[in-house]
Amino acid sequence: MGKPKALKDKLFGAAVLKMSFRLRGDEDSPALRFVYPGVLRDLELEDEAVEKYIAENREQVETAARGKSGPGAGDDD
DSSP codes joined into one string, 9-57? HHHHHHHHHHHHHHHTT-TT-HHHHHHHHHHHHHHT--HHHHHHHHHHS
Q: With bands split at pLDDT 50, 70 and 90, how would you rate the model's confidence at 71?
A: low
User: In the prediction, which pLDDT does 5 show?
Assistant: 79
Contact in structure between 64 and 70 (CB atoms under 8 Å): yes
Task: Give residue 68's pLDDT.
Answer: 77
Output the pLDDT for position 3: 66
pLDDT digits (tens, 9 = 90+) for 14-31: 999 999 999 999 989 999
| Distances in whole angstroms, Cα of residue 34 to Cα of each of 11, 18, 30 | 18, 12, 6
pLDDT band for 74, please (50, 70, 90 cuts): very low
| Percent of the chain surpassing pLDDT 70 | 83
